[in-house]
Amino acid sequence: MMNFGRTPRRIASKPLDRELGFGKTVTTTGRMMNPDGSFNVKRRRIGMMDNVYTHLVSIAWWKFILLVLAGFTLLNCIFATIYCLIGIEHLNGTQPGSFVQNFRQAYFFSSQTLTTVGYGHISPLGLMTNIAASLESFFGLLTFALISGLLYGRFSRPVARIAFSDNMLIAPFKTGQALMFRMINARISELIETEVQLILTINQRDEQGSTSRVFFQLPLQINKISFFSLSWTIVHALDAESPLSGFSQQDLVDSNAEFLVFVKGTDDTNQQIVHTKRSYIAEDVVWNARFRPVLSINKNGIAEVETQLVGEHEVLAES
């Protein structure tokens, strides 16, 4: 039997009714947030131009380099075509030949113009070619100015690089149990005034029998630390106040539970505020387990943390 109708019995935090921008009636079978922190949504017919910068600043480095290289080649081909159309004989220093030979010479003249290297062993003759070359060097500079900006944008973009444990654990805590996950700061720089929000979203059936999606802000033992230097285990106590109080492993799965993690902090290097998100689904929760230590003191008395061990845990024997 499905427990869609289960009402969390005692709710300390009031449900965050619609406050995440998703309607109550949206009960997807899939997850709301992808593991990488992007939302599992699609916005249709939004303006592309607005998003070019966002896109170029966010894509992987190898894609960015390839894209820029392709743009450079394309621009050179366009201008080489123009120079050929005007006539290769207006490029002083070239030797007219077959179309391929002409295009090749025009292409390299174009590349020397676009990058403003301008060796000068080939130079423009006549009005049209001069105008084309003048515009090309002008747009060349603009383009490289643009790429400068993009490169700076890519590098200086504030990103938190936080390693999360792959699983959430239901671990012993004080006299009862708590839901826990662990994070490690995987950058050189510290994260100052780091805050965590943990939001639970589950399906819930009301009295009329219709199912809706409800959201709860889960109270945390500690939700803010002065700075996040090494590792941090985030703890939500499964006490009577918790919306998850009394849930079994199956209950979590049945109600299509998803845990949304929002982290916010200030990067110590450039003082920019950074955000990161992550999502855990019911299947990611390991019951009755405990995280293994991730901190150690080396022989010089310095605290060390192993980023790779962030998710290491041991399942406890049933007591």
Candidate list 11, 77, 128, 192; residue touching a copy of itself; CB under 8 A: 192
> What's the rounded Cα separation, in Å, for the pair 35 and 157?
21
- Which of the residues 292 through 311 are near a copy of itself (CB under 8 A)? 293, 295, 297-298, 300-308
Q: Which of residues 197-226 bind a copy of itself (CB under 8 A)?
A: 197, 199, 222, 224-226
3-state secondary structure of 31: coil
Give SS3 for 173.
strand
Cβ 246 to a copy of itself shortest distance, Å: 26
Q: Strand 285-287 to strand 168-173: parallel, antiparallel, or no bridges (unpaired)?
A: parallel
Using CB atoms within 10 Å of the CB of residue 202, give its burial: 0 to 12 exposed, 13 to 18 middle, 19+ buried: buried
Of 151, 185, 179, the residue nearest 65 (C-alpha): 151
Rule CB under 8 A: say whether 87 interacts with a copy of itself: no
The nearer residue to a copy of itself, 37 or 245, going by C-beta atoms, is 37
Q: CA 218, CA 202: separation in Å to the nearest integer?
A: 12
How far apart, in whole angstroms, are the C-alpha atoms of residue 87 and residue 109? 13
Residues 128-187 close enough to bind a copy of itself by CB under 8 A? 130, 133-134, 137-138, 140-142, 144-153, 155-159, 161, 184-187
Residues 27-66 that bind a copy of itself (CB under 8 A): 28-30, 32, 39-47, 49-51, 53-55, 57-58, 61
To a copy of itself, the closest distance from the beta carbon of 51 in angstroms equals 4
CB of 318: closest distance to a copy of itself in angstroms?
27
Of residues 235 and 286, the one with the C-beta less far from a copy of itself: 235
Q: Does the footprint of a copy of itself cover residue 96 (CB under 8 A)?
A: no
10 or 292: CB nearest a copy of itself: 292
Residue 282 sits in the site that holds a copy of itself (CB under 8 A): no
Q: Count CB neighbours of 317 within 10 A.
A: 6
| Both structure tokens of 242 | 């918790």
d(Cα 25, Cα 199) in Å, to the nearest integer? 18
Secondary element (H or E) of residue 103: helix 99-114
Size of the site for a copy of itself (CB under 8 A): 119
Encoded amino acid at 291, one letter? F
84: amino acid identity, one letter: C
Residue 135 tokens, joined = 């515009």
Q: DSSP 3-state assignment of 132?
A: helix
Q: Which is nearer to a copy of itself, 30 or 209 (CB)?
A: 30
Structure token pair of residue 149: 């900006």
Kindly indicate which of the ranges 114-122, 169-177, 237-245, 246-254 contains the residues binding a copy of itself, using the contact rule CB under 8 A: 114-122
Report the nearest approach of a copy of itself to the CB of residue 11 (Å): 18
Among 9, 10, 63, 275, binds a copy of itself (CB under 8 A): 275
Find the binder of a copy of itself among 9, 63, 121, 292 (CB under 8 A).
Answer: 121
